[in-house]
Chains A and B, each alone.
Chain A
Amino acid sequence: MITVEQRTEFRKHFRYNVGRRLVLDKIVKGAVFVCVLVAIVPLIAILVNVFSNGASALSWEFLTQVPGAVGSDDPGGIGPAIQGTLVLIGLSSLIGVPVGVMGGIFLSEYGNNRYGRTVRFFNDVLAEFPTIVIGVFTFVLIVLTFGDFSVWAGSFALSIIMLPIIMRTTEESLKLVPVTYREAGYALGIRRWKVVFTIVLSSARSGLVTGILLSVARIAGETAPLVFTILGSSQFIQDFSGPVDALPLRIWRLSSLPYDSAVAQGWGGAFILIIIVLSINIGVRYLFLQKKGQTLLKFRKLGSV
C-alpha cells in the first residue's frame, strides 16, 4: 500500500525529474540543429563558390578550343576534355548498360538462391570499391598489355564503376513489378525471356532509366581511375588507342598550375562538371517522382489500390 507521504514524495521527485528531462530534450534538439547548420554551411559554400567563380570563365572559345601552351597569354579552352568525357561515357555505357541490366535480370528473376545472394553481396562490395584500385587494375590489365594509354582502357575502367550501380537499381525496379504481370504473360503462353523483355522491362522502364542515368552522373565525375588509364592530352581525339583528355582530369591538372588563368579555367571546368552531374540527378528525381505518381494513378483507375 502506498502511503500519502510516499505519494507526495513521488510527486516531488516526478516534477523535478520532468523538468530535467525537458531541459535535456531541449539541449539535444539544439545540438542536432547546430549539427545541421555546421554541415550545411560548407556544402552550400562549395556550390556558391563553384557557380560564382565558374560562370565568369564560360565562353564559346572556352568550351570548344584546345588548351593553350602552359603559362602563355592565350589560355585556350577545354574542348578536348569535354569531348573526351562524352566519348568515355558513351563507350563505357556500351559495356556497362547491357551487362548491368542482364545481371540485374538474373538477380531479380533467377537470383533467389545461394548463387544469387553471393553475386548480390559482391556486387554491393564492388560498388563501394576505391575507384583508384579499379584504375590500377585496368592499368595492369590493359595499358601494360597493349602498351599505351587509350580510350578503351578508360572506358573499361568506368564500365566497372557503373556496372554494380546499374545491376542493383535494375534488380530493385524489376522486383517492384507485380508477379501477376508475369503470370498474365505466362498464361498467354509467352516465353519467359519474352515476358521479361516485353512485359517486365517495359513496366520497370523508369527505374531502369534512373539507374543508368545515376551511374552516368557518377562516372562523369570520376578522376582517379582516369589518371591510370587515359593519361590526359591537349588534343582532340585522333585515335581511340591513344591518350585522351577528360573533364575531371583537366580540372585536376589545372588546379596544380600556378597561373590565374589556369585557376579560372579550373573553376569553369568544375562549373560544367557540376552542371552535368546535378542536372542528371535532379532530372532523374523529377522524372521518377512524376512517373511514380502516374503509375499510382493508373492503378487507382484500375481499382487495385
Chain B
Amino acid sequence: MISVKMKKGSSITDKIFKYVAIGAATYVLVIIAMIVINLTTGSAQIWQQEGISFLTGSDWNSVEGRESYGAAPYIMGTLVNAGIAMAISVPLSFGIAMFLSELAPKLLRTPLAMVIELLAAVPSVVYGLWGLLVFRTYIQNWIEVPLHNLFGDQSIIFAGTPFGLDIFTASVVLAIMIVPTIASISKEIMLAVPNSQREAAYMLGATKWEVFRIAVLPYSKSGLIGATILGLGRAVGETMAVTMLIGNATGAAAFPSSLFAPGQTLASIMANEFAEASQGGLHLAALIGVGLILFMMAFAINVVAHLLVSKVVKSHEGAVLA
C-alpha cells in the first residue's frame, strides 16, 4: 500500500509570502499618507503665519523682515495655463482618436498610434528645451505679434508686449505635450466600443460621422471625460516645460491678465525659487505649502478621473459578457 500523507492548511512559507505581498501593496498607501503628513508638517509654519491669506493673498516677498506670502496668483496661473492648454488639446486629441479608431486605413493605423505613444514618452525637459530655443521665435513672430497688432488696443487679453516667454507660449507647448496622452487614452476607449453598436448604426444607413455620433460617442462619453480629466491632471502638475517658458513673474504681477504677459504656476514657482530658499526659513515653508496646494488639486482631479474611467471599463466588461 502506498500511503498518501496530506498536509493540512497552508504552510508557513505560504503565509509569509502572502504577508510580504500585502506589505508591498500597503507600501503604496503608506507613501500617499506620508506625502500628506510630510507636506502638512513641512508647511505648518506658513499656515500659522499667514493663515487663510496664504490662499487668497497676492504678496510674495522673501526679503527678510518684510516676508509675506500669498499663493493666489499662482493658483490662478495654474488654472488659466491648464485651461488654455486643455482648450487647444482636447479637440485635437479627440480628432486624432476618432481618426485612429474610425477612419484611418489599417496600414496607417498602427504606425500612427505608435508614433503618438512614443511622443507621450518624450521627457518634458526636452519639450521645454525645444519650446525655449525653437518654438518661441516662431510663435512670437507669427502669432503673438500679429494678434497684438490687430487686437492689442481693444482687448486686454492681447495687450502686453509679445516677448515669447509668456502664458500663451507655455500653454501652447503644454497643449502639444498632453495631446499624445489624451489621444491615446481616448483611442483605447473608442476602440472598446463593441463593433455591434457601429454595425447597427450602419445598418440604418448612417454615414461615418453619424455612426460616430449616435453609436460611438454616447457609449464612450464618460470614458472620454475621464481621459480629459487625466490630461488636466497632467497639465496642472507639469513642471519643467512650463517653468522654462512661462516667464516667471512673482507676486501680484503673476496674476494672469494678458495672454502675452509673463505668469507663474504652482509647480514653476517651486522649481524656480527652491534654490534661493534657506533651510528652516519661512520661504521654504511657503514653497512646501504651495506643494501641498498642488497636491490637493492633483489628488482631487485624479480621483474623479479614475472613478469615471473605471466605471466605463466596468460597464464595458458587462457589455462584452452580455
Binding site for B on A (CB under 8 A): 21-22, 24-25, 28-29, 31-36, 38-40, 42-43, 45-47, 49-50, 98-103, 105-107, 109-111, 115-116, 118-119, 121-126, 128-134, 136-137, 140-141, 144, 160, 163-164, 167, 191-193, 196, 217-218, 220-224, 227-228, 248, 251-252, 255-256, 263, 266-267, 270, 273-274, 277-278, 281-282, 285
Are A36 and B95 closer than 8 Å at their CB atoms?
yes
What B residues does A36 contact at CB under 8 A?
95-96, 99, 112
Tell me the complex Cα distance, A24–B207, Å.
9
Tell me the complex Cα distance, A278–B207, Å.
39
What A residues does B210 contact at CB under 8 A?
21, 25
Are A217 and B121 closer than 8 Å at their CB atoms?
yes
Q: B302 interface residue, CB < 8 Å from A? A: yes
- From 57 to 111 in chain B, residues with beta carbon under 8 angstroms from any chain A beta carbon are 91-96, 98-99, 103
24 A-B pairs within 8 Å (CB atoms) are namely A32-B98, A32-B99, A36-B96, A49-B130, A50-B129, A98-B24, A99-B24, A115-B25, A119-B26, A121-B306, A131-B237, A132-B267, A133-B291, A136-B39, A136-B287, A137-B34, A137-B291, A140-B38, A163-B31, A220-B123, A224-B271, A252-B125, A274-B122, A278-B122
What B residues does A103 contact at CB under 8 A?
21, 24-25, 27-28
Are B95 and A31 closer than 8 Å at their CB atoms?
yes
Are A111 and B271 closer than 8 Å at their CB atoms?
no
Tell me the complex Cα distance, A105–B244, Å.
40
Partner of B123, one of A34, A222, A228: A222
Closest to B93 in A: A39
What A residues does B156 contact at CB under 8 A?
none
Tell me the complex Cα distance, A274–B96, Å.
24
What A residues does B212 contact at CB under 8 A?
28
Q: B299 interface residue, CB < 8 Å from A? A: yes
Tell me the complex Cα distance, A248–B239, Å.
13
Are B237 and A132 closer than 8 Å at their CB atoms?
yes
Size band of the interface chain B makes with A: 35 or more
- From 26 to 63 in chain B, residues with beta carbon under 8 angstroms from any chain A beta carbon are 26-29, 31-32, 34-35, 38-39, 41-42
What A residues does B305 contact at CB under 8 A?
128
Are A251 and B125 closer than 8 Å at their CB atoms?
yes
What A residues does B34 contact at CB under 8 A?
137, 141
- Against A, the Cβ 8 Å flags (1 = close, 0 = not) of B115-154 are 1111101111111111011110000000000000000000
Closest to A192 in B: B14
- A39-B183, A273-B126 as given contacts; A105 in contact with B291, CB under 8 Å: no
Partner of A252, one of B38, B128, B303: B128
Binding site for A on B (CB under 8 A): 10-11, 13-14, 16-18, 20-29, 31-32, 34-35, 38-39, 41-42, 91-96, 98-99, 103, 112, 114-119, 121-130, 132-135, 176, 179-180, 183, 207-210, 212, 230, 233-234, 236-240, 244, 267, 270-271, 274, 279, 287-288, 291, 294-295, 298-299, 302-303, 305-306, 310
Partner of B35, one of A128, A137, A163, A167: A137
Q: How far is the CB of A302 from chain B (nearest CB, A)?
A: 25
What B residues does A129 contact at CB under 8 A?
237, 295, 298-299, 302
Are A119 and B29 closer than 8 Å at their CB atoms?
yes
Are A163 and B28 closer than 8 Å at their CB atoms?
yes
What B residues does A49 contact at CB under 8 A?
130, 134
Tell me the complex Cα distance, A237–B117, Å.
34
What A residues does B129 contact at CB under 8 A?
50, 251, 255, 266-267, 270
Tell me the complex Cα distance, A195–B39, Å.
42
